[in-house]
Amino acid sequence: MLWSRQGGAEVELRRLAREIGARILADGGSSRESEVQRIFAGERMSDLLEQAGPGTLLVTRLASTHLARLAELMDVPALCLAGGTEPSPELLAAAAQVGTAVLVSALEPEAILAHGRSCLGPGGDRNL
C-alpha cells in the first residue's frame, strides 16, 4: 500500500493528469471539485475505502464498477487506473452517473505518487 498526502496543497485535476501522462476518459461533470489534495494508491477495496474522501485521487489497477460506488459514497472526485488498466464501459457509465472523473495512466502507482508529490509540493508524507 502506498500513499502520499500533502497538507493543504491543491492541484487542478487536468494539470495532474498531464503530469502523470493520464488520459481523462470521463471528466466527472461540473458537480465535483476538480482540485486534488491527496493521492492514495492501493489494490484492495478496503484500503481504498479507508483512505477515500473529498479531494482524494484514488489510484489503482482495479477496474470494478464498485469503484464508482465507492467514489460516490466517499465524495471522491477522481479515479486513476494505473499500469494502463482500461476501464470497462460499465465503469465509465457508473462514474459518469455519480460525477466521478476517470483517468488512465500507463505509469505504475509508485510513479504516479512521485509525480503527484511534485505537483502538490513539499510538506506531505508517504508510507510504503
Could you state, in order of their start, the residue ranges of all structural domains in the chain? 2-121
**pLDDT at residue number 118:** 78
**pLDDT at residue number 53:** 92
Q: How far apart are CA 77 and CA 50, in angstroms?
A: 16
Nearest in space to 57 (alpha carbons), one of 106, 123, 97, 117:
117
The mean pLDDT values, 10 residues at a time, for the chain of 128 residues are: 54 88 84 73 94 93 95 94 96 94 95 84 51
What is residue 120's three-state secondary structure?
helix
What is residue 52's three-state secondary structure?
coil
Three cell numbers written together for 48: 481504498
Give me the CATH topology for the region 2-121: 3.40.1390
